[in-house]
Structure 1
C-alpha cells in the first residue's frame, strides 16, 4: 500500500497527475491533495476524479495508470 496525492496544478493537457509519496515528481505540499492509502493507482485515480475530472497516473510512480 502507498500514500497517494493528486497535483492541484494541471499538466499542459489538462490532466491532474496522481503520485505516490515517494515520487521524485511529487508536487510541493501546498500544490497537492492527499487522496489516501491505496493498494493500487487505479483506486487512487478514481478518488482523484472526485476533485478533478481529468486525472492521470504519473509516468514514473503510477505508470499502470498513466494514459496520456
Structure 2
C-alpha cells in the first residue's frame, strides 16, 4: 500500500499537492514541508483524507507521481 504526503506549502495556483512517497517523485517537497498522510490504496483516497482534514484548502495530486489525481 503506497504512502502519501501533502506539501504544506501552496503551489503558485494555490493548491497543496499530494505526493506518493512509495514510488518517489522528483518534485517531492523538502522533509520540513511534508505532512504525512499515511498509507492509502491510491491517491484518490489520500486526497479525500486530506480534504477531510483541511476542507478549506485546495488539494490536488502531483502531476508527476499522482497523475490520476491531478486536476489543476
**Shorter-chain TM band:** over 0.9
Which residue of 49, 58, 64 maps to 1:54?
Answer: 58
Q: Over aligned residues, Cα RMSD in angstroms? A: 1.1
**Separation in 2, partners of 1:2, 1:66:** 17
1:37-61 Cα distance to aligned partner (Å, 9 max, x none): 1111001011111136210000000
Q: Which residue pairs with 2:46 in the alignment?
A: 44
Report how many residues are paired: 68
Report the secondary structure of 1:44's partner residue. Answer: helix
**Separation in 2, partners of 1:5, 1:47:** 11
* TM-score, structure 1 normalization: 0.92
* TM-score, structure 2 normalization: 0.88
Runs of 4 or more above 6 Å deviation: none
Tell which deviates more after alignment, 26-35 or 42-51. 42-51
What stretches of structure 1 of length at least 5 have no aligned partner?
Answer: none
